Structure 1
Amino acid sequence: MDEKETGRLEAFSDGVFAVAITLLVLNIKVPEPDKLLSDANLWKALFTQWPTLAAFVTSFFTIGIMWLNHHRVFTLIKRTDTSLIMINLVLLLIIVFIPVPTELLAEYLLRFDLHTAAIIYAGTFLLMASAFNILWRYASYQGRLLGKHVNMHLVRSINRQFAFGPLLYLICFGLAWFNTPVSLFFGLALALFFAVPGSSLRLLMKREEITDRENNKNDR
């Protein structure tokens, strides 16, 4: 039976993802009642926060779907070592930093002549996608940290699929130098795109779930 050694790493990672995604909401401010004299003024004050909401939604889905994919690959990763833990820590460092460029982007989203905030925001996502790729490739290289019966042909197929992540976020990073709203929209589209696992990843996850159920039955 495959021993699952990643429990503590996954639990710690889940906690960091939860903290990062919760911190995003702190950027949304409630208008002060003393400065508003009517419902119309309140609606206007709320509407002026749409850049903050747009940045919040994009970052929320990006972190959430990164957590989803992190969970997916750890159904295949069965063992850990110091290098994997350090790579995972780097990924979590980037994840927990995301609320900072999110607030920065919200402040400068409508300044079409300024692109620094969008560059930092998209650059953070590029680093995140790169760190996730490195984590998976390290764990899957020659199956070193995967389950004993994982199909390496399917693993190589997943490697090819995951390679598009940094490339697409590099495009998003390039767009940030010229058009901030388009870069933000492209980032949201990428998050939703990566919510759907590739066929090879789905097949491997299904096989691992079947294997785990069979092993649990044999242990009873």
Structure 2
Amino acid sequence: MGSRVQEPISDHHVGQRHLDRLVMLSDGVFAIAITLSAIEIKPDAAPGQSLWQAWSIPLLVYFFSFLFIGTVWFYHRRMVAHLRDIDTIGSAINLVLLSVVALMPVVNRNVFTSEFHALGVPIFAGMLVVTFLCLAAFWIYVVYVAKLAPDLPRAMAVLWLIEMVSPVVGALGVALYDRQHWIALAVMIVVFLALLVVRTRAAKRAAKPDA
């Protein structure tokens, strides 16, 4: 052990330690958020209700939260796997993302099972927009600003960014449809279709061996 203490710590090892700490904290928050989703399963039993009527909505909210949190975790795992290091600004953006993810179980529970039910669609759409904007901001910073993923092909980085922005446009479109803002909805549809075209082209470039 004494000989290892005398060995200098390289910048690469420091970067890996920073990334390890970020991943551990992030995975912990994702796990806690999923656990909170399970804790929020509280059937609203009422006289004359069947077992299915009492449990269907709480279970639906749980699986919906699980799917959403799992999707965000999938994107996050894929992103950090290509980073060589993480800096202070990247860590701060990641913390903002985690703070939003941790709120998702409570938001879903209150939006879909309380007096806020009438506003459920726009509130959830807003939550989705904020979450994926945080993901996109994190990706833009670490790839294009801090350049912490130099080994990732540019076409692949663009493709993943489009995949993170597309849910934002889709959620805004759903919220606008719910509020019957037809002109804004038409604009969102055009933007979404444009993103699909760009994504298809980016996917083709990423699939090339020399990409």
Fold-level similarity (TM above 0.5): yes
Kept in 2, the 8 Å contact 1:20–1:98? The answer is: yes
Give the alignment partner of residue 117 of structure 1, picking from 117, 120, 137: 120
Q: 1:144-175 deviations in whole A, cap 9, x for unaligned?
A: 111x4322233233333333131122223334
1:97 equivalent in structure 2: 103
Q: 1:169-212 deviations in whole A, cap 9, x for unaligned?
A: 2223334547xxxxxxxxxxxxxxxxxxx995xx79xxxxxxxx
1:22 equivalent in structure 2: 35
- Go from structure 1 to structure 2 and tell me whether the alpha carbon gap of 1:161 and 1:96 turns closer, same or farther (over 3 Å shift): closer
Aligned pairs, number? 172
* Paired amino acid for 1:26: I
Alignment of 1:31-50 (within 5 A): 44-50=50-56
1:86 equivalent in structure 2: 92
**What percentage of residue pairs aligned between the two structures are identical?**
24
1:126 equivalent in structure 2: 129
Kept in 2, the 8 Å contact 1:24–1:99? The answer is: yes
Distance in 2 (alpha carbons) for counterparts of 1:175 and 1:95: 25
Once the 2 structures are TM-superposed, how far is the Cα of residue 26 of structure 1 from its aligned partner? 1.9
1:139 equivalent to 2:142? Answer yes
Structure 1 unaligned blocks of 5 or more = 179-197, 205-220
SS in 2 for 1:6: helix
Distance in 2 (alpha carbons) for counterparts of 1:16 and 1:138: 21
Structure 2 unaligned blocks of 5 or more = 1-9, 181-199
Superposed CA RMSD in Å reads 3.1
1:13 equivalent in structure 2: 26
1:55 equivalent in structure 2: 61
Distance in 1 (alpha carbons) for counterparts of 2:112 and 2:55: 9
- Go from structure 1 to structure 2 and tell me whether the alpha carbon gap of 1:124 and 1:31 turns closer, same or farther (over 3 Å shift): closer
Distance in 2 (alpha carbons) for counterparts of 1:30 and 1:51: 8
Give the alignment partner of residue 70 of structure 1, picking from 76, 82, 100: 76
* Paired amino acid for 1:22: T
